[in-house]
Structure 1
Amino acid sequence: MKKSFIYFITGCFALFSCNKNPLDITPDGRITFDDVFKNEIQTESFVNTIYSKIPTYFFNYNNYGFLAGITDEAQEVRNTYIGGMALQWQNGGLTPSSNPLSGMLDYAVWWQGIGHANLFLSYIDNATIKDGAKKSRLKAEVQLLRAFFYWELVKQYGPMPAVDKPFDATFSYETLKRPAFADVIAFIVQDCDAVIANQDVPLRITNVAERGRFPKSVAYAIKTQALLFNASPLWNPGNDAAKWAAAAQAGKEAVQALTVQGDYKLFADYGQYFLKTQDLGANIRDFETIHEIPAPAGVFSVINTIPTNGRLIGTSAGACPSQELIDSYEMQVTGEPAILGYSDNDHLQPIINAASGYDETKPYEGRDPRFYATTWYNGSHYGMIAGIDHHVETFIGGLDQMIPQVQFTNTRTGYYLRKFYDPLIPANQLVQECRWKKFRLAEIYLNYAEAENEANGPAQAYEPVNIVRRRAGMPELPTGLDKNQMRERIRRERRVEFAYEEHRFWDVRRWKILSQTDKLVTGMEIRKQPDGSFTYKRFVTERRASGWQDKFLLFPIPIGETNLIPDFAANQNPGW
């Protein structure tokens, strides 16, 4: 933490020293922070510096990995590459002295963001900004950035000291103490509430020039997430009903503010939603996105499937959907789960729901439309490749066949990721138009539904879930579900609605089911018969030595911090 603060101070001086008249300097050649906040442009530049600490997420983890590749959603084909994030994770690479996710989910980055925010907030009230509304909005945005960084920090590492002022040169880091998780959540919620109450912050960004700035809706998103985690089994072992009630109330208020008082609504087409960047300005279509990371996807298509030579294979198949993810999609006509679970530990013997209409000999027919929007599967229609209308062939011997444990180009599971990838963009055009949607309205609905069910039962939880299902083209949930049944359906809904969006990684931790979900992933071996039919055989494609044990519910506090701060050493996260 101390080192992060030193880096932060140095970076600020370097940034702002180039924005002043070179003759107008202090004796050591650097401007002071008092000078910075006397200049409106430099003050705004400081806010941009704080925003720059937000990671890009998406496929930008070490060696172009998705976070999904270390969950039960997918197998990362590059897990045999020694520098790959997935291989490091599964081989026990997360320790108090190393983090395979460093650069995206990084202890130092979160604290640097918090340090920047606290310094800004200590100066902004006296800053030279003539427009009071502008100053108020900038202050609120930085409060929200602090809440964001704190929330990302504590969901990863557990409770951390709620620091609201910059550390000075005389501060004794040895005095820092780890608070209760609920206390730091209260601190985060306090910042969110301050932003929600601020009339100078827009509910939604509409100006293209403001792309990437936090609107007020982000405060609702962070608040509902934080209170939901606070009420979940990981942080609520006694199942305190008051925590669920607080999360439910926050969810209800968020839905009301965004969809009744505001103009947020779900994008009409689930599949198309992930293919484009959020449109802003007049005549927009995307009223669902709350915050989108402004950095473009860049060469996303390069490190996933690039169709060439009449087939789907490209440079790397990336994170291939697991059979477990495929099994989680319900049947569209009945609205019933196709697979209820497994009767064996290796997930090779599925428990088929006879009432669903699922046919093992035609496993990809009649599924939830989100399945087709997320996955390229055997027989799915891709479109034109090199002048040939292509249907995906993942069967053994097919053009896009599965080749387990051999090379990066082919799927290991029998599936390729379709979500985020637009097949209408030519293969030689490397830049996809999608960007990472960090917060969106569908999550607010499902956060509310989960908390409402736990707090008050299913009655009021139906509608927010059904809103999400209706958009996807799925039937509404059956009436008469009890709390346990509704909980299971909500968890299933989160899994398919948010596939590959990083929610699964955190959900299985807060629900404390990590050891049940992440030990292995399976795939589907498909063989084409002489009569043109196919046979399907499940197999274990990856067994994981590490990453699923209970100690991975939280990341270890880095060793540098535990050496510096006695209370952190005495209260290191369990198992580390």
Structure 2
Amino acid sequence: MSNNKLFYRCLFAILLVTSCQKNPLDIMPDGRLTLEQVFADELMASEYLNTIYDNVNPYGTAYNYFTLLAGFSDEAHDNDFPQDMGRPPSRWYNGELRPNWNPLDIQFSTGSTDSETNGNYYRKNWAGIRQTNIFLAYINTTPYANPQVKARLVAEAKVLRAFLYWELIKMYGGMPVVDKPFTADFQFESLPRQTFQECVAFIKQNCDEAIAEQYFPYRITTEPERGRFTKAVAHSIRSQALLFAASPLWNAGDDQNRWVEAAEAAKQSLEALQANNYVLHPDYESYFYGRTDISVNPSDKETIFEIKPYRAHEFSHLMFRMHAIPTLGGDKAGNSPSQELVDAYDMANGEPAITGYYDEDHLYPIINTTSGYDEANPYTDRDPRFYATVWYNNAYYGEINGQPYHIQSYLGGADGISSIMQRTGNGYYLRKFRDPKQLDPNTGTARFKKYRLGELYLNYAEAANEAYGPTPEVYQAINAIRDRVDMPQLPEGLGKAEMRERIHRERRVELAFEEHRFWDVRRWKILNMTDKLTTGMEWTKAGDSFTGRRIVTGRRKSWTDNHLIFPIPLGELTLMPLWEQNPGWD
């Protein structure tokens, strides 16, 4: 057996024994390593930290059946519905989230714990937290030839712990704050739940300490280290957590100090990232086609953390096959952008096109008559981000086999509306993340970007507007995002509420399909206004002209207030008799 195989078998044995409540060191000598032995060697200690990344979900297309989180929000309609009512989106639309059943937990294969899939959120995050606590408790005794390496790994572990806590409480609310390994006689049922705010304070502490570590890098610069956390990731996690903590879901009394704290932290992060060569990518559309280049001075200076595929499930490959235009290959249509998302894009002149709806079914839009929006030609002169995100009827795709191709999503067209999963159900297809020149599933290079600089601008703008009103700095942050795509700057003189509406709209279009909308509507407590249904556009062709009408694509049942926070899994709750279930799930 090679030394590497021997090492990993030994390390696997350690992970198995540390997952038990029994003292992991109380074992008979049988060739397995103790934790003391692992942390007596700097190589094995470092590898122990690497294994913690197995608890980080792959996000992106790793929701069963290779779908996106957008399909569980009002950003998109998942075309598995209504043909396959057993798939997670259909079961989500049917309101099947329960304390003993979470549609987002469905794995690719029944019972799978494959790290390439999303799911097992509660246990995976707690397992990672336990491992980081073990690492941080033992690493102090590990002799490192270079103390700078050790300092970096300690900071990295703190960011991992912050990340795992953040992903846990974002879904389930406040949890116990645990920063040390459990002893063999610890009574787990005695652990009290702590508040969301207390957890955020712990997350912030971990991020602050990592940011303060001089040997912790802002950017990964060598290929073998691709996928590791950095100081920039710490800034992103801290910014998100503080923004959520200030938002209505977790700030019922509208404590302005929380908005101030979120704004000041986001401002500090923006300044630090900019000082360390983080810059918005010049081309919004092409930015999502590729993966980050690794170097001291990369061409992609915006990406903060990109998901690295564990084995075969490359993001670009799955986007090609599972979110496809039927005439261009692929297995299914996947997530189709909703009419509600399409309506959120401004006109190219900077004016909102649609400001709301007269009816609950969203079939009669409130048109901003000063915007220039034309119901007969709704896709003309829109925000460039619309064209980078959505394929719509008659959109020019490019040349296929030397011939120009336009999307035929009209009734009876080659890409026309149908109830089968290989076709759009609402008249749209997803363009973002896929280069139109990619005509083979194996030639794409896109990877899912978990954190990027653009979000930090939006986090700051939102928090600062709530804390101080629409100051020049708020305008500057939003306009930086709009300038990148040559959109006009926001009009001067907006009030605080008007600016809030524009910021919400800006987040929706800038971050579309990047796993923000699902959580934003919850923290803003507007789920009951956004997630009852999605609509689309049904086009009929007559000669060379098209006539469109709005249609309801699907109604949903996952919009009530109890869906703002997920229920704690029933099996976990029964082990903690002192805990109460989250509101509305008793």
Q: TM-score, normalised by structure 1?
A: 0.93
Deviation at 1:320, TM superposition (A): 0.6
Q: From 171, 178, 186, give the equivalent of 2:201.
A: 186
* Equivalent-residue separation in structure 2 for 1:567 and 1:307 (angstroms): 51
Matches within 5 A, 1:4-15: 11=12, 13=14
Q: From 536, 551, 567, give the equivalent of 2:578.
A: 567
Deviations 1:442-466 (A, max 9, x none): 0000000000000000012111110
* Equivalent-residue separation in structure 2 for 1:291 and 1:408 (angstroms): 32
* Equivalent-residue separation in structure 1 for 2:95 and 2:540 (angstroms): 35
Deviation at 1:426, TM superposition (A): 2.6
Matches within 5 A, 1:544-563: 544=556, 546-563=557-574
User: Structure 2 regions of 5+ residues with no counterpart?
Assistant: 1-9, 19-26, 106-116
Residue aligning to 1:478: 491
* Equivalent-residue separation in structure 2 for 1:196 and 1:345 (angstroms): 47
* Equivalent-residue separation in structure 1 for 2:29 and 2:392 (angstroms): 66
Q: From 100, 104, 109, give the equivalent of 1:101.
A: 104
- Judge which range, 204-213 or 407-416, deviates more: 204-213
> 1:37 aligned to 2:39?
yes
Deviation at 1:430, TM superposition (A): 3.0
Residue aligning to 1:229: 244
Does the 8 Å CA contact 1:189/1:223 hold for their aligned counterparts? yes
Matches within 5 A, 1:69-148: 69-79=71-81, 80-102=83-105, 103-105=117-119, 106-148=121-163
User: Structure 1 regions of 5+ residues with no counterpart?
Assistant: 1-8, 18-24
> 1:433 aligned to 2:465?
no
* Equivalent-residue separation in structure 1 for 2:211 and 2:296 (angstroms): 25
* Equivalent-residue separation in structure 2 for 1:192 and 1:430 (angstroms): 38
Deviations 1:311-340 (A, max 9, x none): 34632001111100100000012x011000
Residue aligning to 1:381: 396
Deviation at 1:571, TM superposition (A): 4.7
Q: From 211, 216, 220, give the equivalent of 1:201.
A: 216
Change (3 A) 1:210 1:313: closer
* Equivalent-residue separation in structure 1 for 2:30 and 2:185 (angstroms): 21
* Equivalent-residue separation in structure 2 for 1:331 and 1:547 (angstroms): 31
Does the 8 Å CA contact 1:297/1:436 hold for their aligned counterparts? yes
Q: From 525, 540, 550, give the equivalent of 2:552.
A: 540
* Equivalent-residue separation in structure 2 for 1:279 and 1:499 (angstroms): 23
Q: From 362, 378, 383, give the equivalent of 1:368.
A: 383
Change (3 A) 1:415 1:212: same
Deviation at 1:147, TM superposition (A): 0.1
Change (3 A) 1:188 1:337: same
Deviation at 1:302, TM superposition (A): 4.7
Matches within 5 A, 1:103-502: 103-105=117-119, 106-259=121-274, 261-281=275-295, 284-295=298-309, 296-297=314-315, 299-306=317-324, 311-312=327-328, 314-333=330-349, 335-403=350-418, 405=419, 407-427=420-440, 429-459=441-471, 460-502=473-515
> 1:522 aligned to 2:540?
no
Deviation at 1:560, TM superposition (A): 1.7
Does the 8 Å CA contact 2:40/2:142 hold for their aligned counterparts? yes
SS at match of 1:567: coil
* Equivalent-residue separation in structure 2 for 1:350 and 1:141 (angstroms): 49
- In the alignment of these two chains, the number of paired residues is 551
Residue aligning to 2:114: none
SS at match of 2:62: coil
Deviation at 1:90, TM superposition (A): 1.9
SS at match of 1:535: strand
Does the 8 Å CA contact 1:302/1:316 hold for their aligned counterparts? no
Deviation at 1:522, TM superposition (A): 0.3
* Equivalent-residue separation in structure 1 for 2:68 and 2:57 (angstroms): 13
Deviations 1:140-181 (A, max 9, x none): 101100000000000100000110011222110121111121
Change (3 A) 1:523 1:207: same
Does the 8 Å CA contact 2:328/2:439 hold for their aligned counterparts? no
2:318 is aligned with what amino acid? F
| RMSD (Å) for aligned C-alpha atoms | 1.9
Q: Percent identity?
A: 49
Residue aligning to 1:27: 29
Deviation at 1:14, TM superposition (A): 5.9
* Equivalent-residue separation in structure 2 for 1:574 and 1:149 (angstroms): 25
* Equivalent-residue separation in structure 2 for 1:192 and 1:215 (angstroms): 10
SS at match of 1:275: coil
* Equivalent-residue separation in structure 2 for 1:345 and 1:510 (angstroms): 22
1:61 is aligned with what amino acid? Y
Change (3 A) 1:249 1:234: same
SS at match of 1:299: helix
